[in-house]
Structure 1
């Protein structure tokens, strides 16, 4: 059985200067889970956005949490997403 590869998006506010944390988050995830990822896309946005989704499902939202993710938090959330993913369909 072929390993499922997931697409992650990191939407970040450009005018807020969030590219360093978006880049760091991408590196954290890729360094630990590159075999499980088909893509990590950095998506420029506005309005204070820092939103992380996997396969279109939100896994972290700065707007909802009122904070940035902690070190390796997105890695943990991605691992939880993979554990809960329905591989049957």
Structure 2
């Protein structure tokens, strides 16, 4: 079980690294697109960075956390605990 958690943690960190890279690329793409149609003001740049990067990190990070929970055995331990409680009633 400990090896599953260690392997899952390593994979989770790798996924987060790729998600951060994808977020940075999306920010660059959004800023490029905005620059085609108007001047980039500092407030627009900060809002784009915050909105695009954080939204990408949040959305993808939650999926990564769900996969981590499954692969590390957390979901199985909750299932076993719940099943054990139901059998005692």
Structure having the higher strand fraction is: 1
- Report which of the two structures shows the higher radius of gyration computed on alpha carbons: 2
Same fold (TM over 0.5): no
Name the TM-score, length of structure 1 as normaliser.
0.29
Structure having the higher helix fraction is: 2
Name the TM-score, length of structure 2 as normaliser.
0.29
